[in-house]
Amino acid sequence: MAVSQFIHFPQIGASRVRRLDRDQSDWASMTDFRCDRPFLQPRWTATTRRSSGVSMDRIASITRTTAETDISVTLNLDGTGKADIATGIGFLDHMLTALTRHGLFDLTVRAKGDLHIDFHHTTEDVGIVIGQAFAKAIGDKRGISRFGHALIPMDETLAEAAVDISGRPFLVWNADFGRPKIGDMDTELFEEFFRALAFNAMITLHINRRAGHNAHHVAEACFKATARALRAASALDPRAAGAIPSTKGSL
């Protein structure tokens, strides 16, 4: 693998970079460089994707309309954390923005629902459509890391999320809240959202509240932990060479 996937050398020309890639012992003499991303996280350019057997774009758009909700989602797994969220539920918008930012996805959500009844249908259906978009964007899972785990503190709260992009949907939810509502949103709806997300994304998702009593902190830490776990699990592994991460050959 070319070292130039990991490092930028702004003061030298492309031809010298290619020579250095061919004779990697000369990299040690270079001093004017910067890492483009964290160590062992290469820049997935179009050329890298093609050579790794990975789909060019991991982007999906889904629209779902029922008698209760009308929801459109566009998800880019290889984004920059850009969120454009409008569900009609302020706190859910806040949580989805955190999910997007810390997952480094680009996510657009437009939702209209029967909020005059309650927030249940809209919250669950947003989870369904984001999950469907995730499953479509991830494709056949070729070249992904597959597993992800995150342990996220937020003041007194500590939340854990573990993900397996397995094709076997499951949710384990161990996150109690000290009160029934955060603002106007029922705290029991967070479990409904994550169950809808997991089952439609076709992932196994475990979420645990390790510590904490502030309901806002617990919810936010759960979303951030899930974001980081999904980010790790969906990341393209430069050593996988486009392989399916399973001994079965499919997921």
Per-residue pLDDT tens over the stretch 185-205: 999 999 999 999 999 999 999
Q: Say if residues 159 and 225 touch (Cβ distance below 8 Å).
A: yes
What integer pLDDT is reported at residue 241 of this predicted model?
A: 83
Does pLDDT of 56 surpass 90?
A: no
What integer pLDDT is reported at residue 249 of this predicted model?
A: 84
Q: Which residues contact 133 (CB under 8 A, 6 or more apart)?
A: 60, 61, 62, 73, 74, 75
What integer pLDDT is reported at residue 44 of this predicted model?
A: 47
CA distance 141 to 184: 38
Q: Where are the domains of the chain?
A: 3-43, 59-234
Kindly report the pTM of this predicted structure: 0.80
What integer pLDDT is reported at residue 22 of this predicted model?
A: 57
CA distance 88 to 147: 33
Does pLDDT of 41 surpass 90?
A: no
Find the helix packing angle between 90-103 and 120-138, rounded to 10°: 20
Instruction: Count Cα atoms within 13 angstroms, Cβ side, for 63.
Output: 3
Q: Say if residues 159 and 99 touch (Cβ distance below 8 Å).
A: no
Please give the CATH architecture assigned to the domain spanning 59-234: 2-Layer Sandwich (3.30)
